[in-house]
A and B are shown apart, each in its own frame.
Chain A
């Protein structure tokens, strides 16, 4: 049960107790899923054996150490970061556009990040060694971030007139932007050499399979920072649900909230796309489920989205490792197979409300 302070009886319609409970359940689920995911895999390595080895004070077998610490652990951590980053990006973007259908993957923001990542992979090789040395593993996530930032800004400018964001304009402009960016990406890919092409194909499938420590250390700080800073925007986004003018009248610095939300979405999406390619629908499914469970208050929605996004991606990753074992299904295919129908379901349920 949830403790309620005795001096403040809970009022009807206050769902913070449910959101708090959801948060606790999700924390437990995330811990359990992480452990499970760490022990999940094709090789004969077993987590229980490794743990009992450690508890007994024995050295880990070399194979166990490599599989657990160098392959699975970075992959699990990457899954947590990417899942949280994508779900929080979705929730932020929906709050910013005041629409439950906004999602970085749908409206071209991910395409902006992809173009950035592709540019970095193809032209990064041509950089002088001194410059490449400075950026190192950061080059791809940083350029992807710039790509998604410019795209989000452009989209917001196009879809918003006099403080009102048009859903139809947003979705259609997102499609157009996505198409343009993909076309440019195609042009850049034509210039790639064979080894770069291999890198690009591997990356573009949407996968956590390439996770390693250097990649994780380059991209995770950006995602962690974005996810942890997002709840600071919660009050502003709650007020924005009333409309921009009304948000200003309750004391919100609207332009500042919007700028920060755009920057956070761009950072989280950019870094996530840079390391995992195109993983879709997490940003739309997760916040929607949470709104159904405990309401749209962003003070909880943003936190819980991060948690549920991480849990979902860990499960999707486990599915991707299992479904066609010993081969691996790209995780983007798994999330699309679950998220696509779910998205259609949201559309059908809200057909009357959306005035598209």
Chain B
């Protein structure tokens, strides 16, 4: 079961944001989309989720995205938005339930479990609007997680689409969320995430898609994509990729001495 995008092009106004992007992501893997600001990562994500009108084909498990009924698609994949302000004073429990209740399912049993998974145990009675940005982001993740709780159901793997899932989190919770996503993939689900942090990407991703100027510059395993030459070219600054025996690789910017 894979996510396949072929020749995706997106224009906003007269400006071409994505220019013929093709990619493939497999269930059971954590796929990261990386690239500098303005390279089209979020636009690509929004095209992949069907939010943005686009040219080209996107297939999930061999089926065209447009062929899914909205409620079927909601059962197959959850989407974590980048920012989520809420217009009314919902409690955390009410927010986490929205995804499941939208298709008429009871969610009470899942609420504590989903909140525990994002390290917010005991938060269900709190008011969402009064939480910090990082806490809100994790509540949203709990909501998305509850929507596709089992990574695999009778119709095959389910997917998590995450747009910068750790952007406003402290380092401990970055690890919480990355482990959670990696675990979801390990249990057979598909995870595709827009990432800023190259080191977290190197630690957790099985596949990396490197974007630049609306195109895919490279895709492959972290070892294939995250190299000195490729990254330095993509980000336009001198980057050095180092090997750490136990954990794999890490990336350090080179600061001129003196």
Contact = CB atoms under 8 A, between A and B. Distances in A.
A231 interface: no
A249 B49 contact: yes
Contact of A238 (B91, B101, B112): B101
B98 A239 contact: yes
A245 B102 contact: no
A13 B103 contact: no
Interface string A330-355: 00000000000000000000000100
Contacts of B126: 13
Given A246-B79, A251-B103, A253-B70, A13 B124 contact: yes
Contact of A11 (B93, B98, B104, B129): B93
A245 B92 CA distance: 20
Nearest to B110: A11
Interface in B65-107: 70-75, 77-79, 81, 84-95, 98-99, 101-104, 106
A243 B99 CA distance: 12
A98 B129 CA distance: 14
Contacts of A242: 81, 84, 86, 95, 98
B73 A251 contact: yes
B101 A241 contact: no
B90 A250 contact: no
Contacts, number: 103
Contacts of A249: 49, 73-74, 77-79
B65 to A, nearest CB: 12
Given A13-B125, A297-B94, A250 B147 contact: yes
A251 B93 contact: no
B153 interface: no
A239 B122 CA distance: 23
Contact of A241 (B86, B99, B104): B86
B108 interface: yes
Given A238-B102, A243-B81, A296 B92 contact: no
Nearest to B69: A251
A257 to B, nearest CB: 10
B108 A12 contact: no
B193 to A, nearest CB: 15
B111 interface: yes
Contact of B108 (A8, A250, A353): A8
Contacts of A215: none
A239 B109 CA distance: 20
Interface string A291-313: 10001110000000000000000
A235 B102 contact: yes
B170 interface: no
A295 B91 contact: yes
A253 B94 CA distance: 20
Contacts of B88: 98, 100, 241, 291, 296
B51 interface: yes
A252 B77 CA distance: 14
Contact of B93 (A14, A247, A253, A291): A14
B84 A11 contact: no
Nearest to A245: B51
A194 B102 CA distance: 54
Interface string A227-244: 000000001101101110
A295 B94 CA distance: 9
B70, B75, B87, B108, most chain A CB atoms within 10 A: B87
Contacts of B103: 250-251
Nearest to B95: A242
A71 B79 CA distance: 57
Q: 7 closest Cβ contacts across the A-B interface?
A: A251-B74, A13-B93, A296-B88, A13-B91, A12-B125, A98-B87, A251-B71
Given A238-B98, A248-B50, 13 more contacts: A11-B108, A12-B93, A12-B122, A14-B93, A14-B94, A14-B108, A100-B87, A241-B88, A243-B81, A245-B79, A250-B74, A250-B147, A353-B129
16 contacts: A11-B93, A11-B108, A11-B111, A13-B93, A13-B124, A14-B91, A98-B87, A98-B88, A239-B99, A239-B102, A241-B90, A242-B98, A245-B51, A245-B79, A295-B90, A297-B90
Interface of A: 8, 11-15, 98-100, 235-236, 238-239, 241-243, 245-253, 291, 295-297, 353
